[in-house]
Structure 1
């Protein structure tokens, strides 16, 4: 999972290569962005999120951003 420990780019590529045909993978934003930093200074985390999502290629599904409770 991508919420508690952010996977490497290589891990996203391995997942892409192992997914069955027609399967899309959702990517959940890491808690480092949504909970620890509460969306402050998001550039580094946004870049990681985008790199991972793009590494999935045509297997990339929705991006999930679960925000910290108010």
Structure 2
């Protein structure tokens, strides 16, 4: 994993706990899944790691892609 990874808490169990953070510095993260997105929000907390602190994002809701 790289230094730009984040920890994802909550949401569907098939999404990995560590996920690459996009290049933007938003407090919200949108993860593609099936026919929609899982949305996560930065908690303001970090988990200690040998590569440095990793931001923790918590699941907030799901949206579907309209056809």
Structure 2 length normalisation: TM-score?
0.25
Q: Which has the higher helix share?
A: 1
Q: Which has the higher strand share?
A: 2
Structure 1 length normalisation: TM-score?
0.24
